[in-house]
Amino acid sequence: MGVDKEVSNCPHCEEIFPILSKLKIHLKIHTGEKPYSCSDCGGRFSRLDTLKCHQRIHTGEKPYSCFDCGKCFKTSTELKSHQRRHTGEKPYSCSDCGESFSRLDTLKCHQQMHTGVKPYSCSECGKSFSQQGNLKTHQRIHKGEKPYSCFDCGKGFKTSTELKSHQRTHTGEKPHYCSDCGASFSQLSNLRRHQRIHKGEKPYYCSDCGTSFSQLSNLKTHQRIHKGEKFSQTS
């Protein structure tokens, strides 16, 4: 009985393989060879296991189930990605800002924000987006679609995120906590505004006197002073 010999690495990409059979399978990526075809749609694949995974699209088979919620998946990779929702694991980090993600495709979409690439354009107004999902959400403005409704008051929203945020007005839930003082907020945006107090950030400037503020509302309140001064001078 023969035994696969150890090999050093792939001559094309330097990836190392401990056994020859795995190297031979890998080499098909570089040669473009796809000897395995799907009898249902004719799609071709370089690996037999990839073909078997693909065929589950046609059969509807989902042999991998989540122990936490019971949801089923076609591949073990999809299951592992899903399970990160339960564990909170985020192994993919953005090299530009450090933000972490549970899925690689989500990270790639996020990175387009830093590159400035916006390949998805709205046919109605021409506005461009880095992510296709954001384009679809935007297009609801033109269509007037609000597919997500609140069970408590019936108000409609364009996205599920907007709906969840709104529902906290009914439940009183405040899941966002300040690590500096423990104050809690129903909206992440409110927490970020609050944290400027601790960081000393004051991004809002008065064009009249140059005074800066951490909150936009405080700037607007301050500007009434100047409006009042100008009114009294002209009256």
Q: Which residues pair with 44 in a beta bridge?
A: 37
Q: pLDDT (tens digit, 9 = 90+) per residue, 170-206?
A: 888 888 888 889 888 888 888 888 888 888 888 888 9
Please tell me the predicted confidence (pLDDT) of residue 164: 87
- Across 70-83, average pLDDT: 88
Domain tally, the chain: 3
Q: How far apart are CA 186 and CA 165, in angstroms?
A: 7
Global confidence as pTM: 0.39
Shared domain for 87 and 127, answered yes or no, is yes
Q: Which residues pair with 176 in a beta bridge?
A: 185
Please tell me the predicted confidence (pLDDT) of residue 8: 60
* Residue that terminates a domain, selected from 145, 165, 189: 145
Q: How far apart are CA 108 and CA 137, in angstroms?
A: 19
Q: Of all residues in the chain, what percent carry a pLDDT higher than 90?
A: 3
Q: pLDDT (tens digit, 9 = 90+) per residue, 5-57?
A: 565 678 877 778 778 887 877 777 777 788 888 898 888 888 888 888 888 88
* Residue that terminates a domain, selected from 12, 35, 59: 59
Q: How far apart are CA 100 and CA 111, in angstroms?
A: 11
* Residue that terminates a domain, selected from 145, 165, 188: 145
Q: Is the dihedral of CA 159, 163, 164, 165 positive or negative?
A: positive
Q: How far apart are CA 206 and CA 152, in angstroms?
A: 41
Residue among 233, 231, 232, 199 at smallest CA distance from 214: 199
CATH number at residue 133: 3.30.160.60
Shared domain for 28 and 52, answered yes or no, is yes
Residue 80 placed within a domain: yes
Residue 198 placed within a domain: yes
Residue 123 placed within a domain: yes
Write out the residue range of the structural domain in which residue 207 sits.
Answer: 176-234
Radius of gyration of the chain (CA): 27
Please tell me the predicted confidence (pLDDT) of residue 125: 92
Shared domain for 41 and 90, answered yes or no, is no
